[in-house]
Amino acid sequence: MTKKKKIDPLTGDELTKKVKELGNLSKEEKARACGYYTVTKNGVERVNMMKFLNALIDAEGIELDGKQNGNGRGGRSASYRISVQSNGNLLIGSAYTKQMGLQPGDEFEITLGRKHIRLKQVDAEDEEFSEDEL
pLDDT at 15: 92
pLDDT at 124: 55
pLDDT at 51: 92
What is the DSSP track for the chain?
-PPPPPPPPP-HHHHHHHHHHTTTS-HHHHHHHTT-EEE-TTS-EEE-HHHHHHHHHHHHT--SSSS--SSS---PPP-S-----TTS-----HHHHHHHT--TT--EEEEE-SS-EEEEETTPPPP---TTT-
The pLDDT averaged over each successive group of 10 residues in the chain (134 residues) is: 69 91 92 91 89 89 64 61 85 81 86 87 58 48
pLDDT at 128: 46
pLDDT at 134: 44
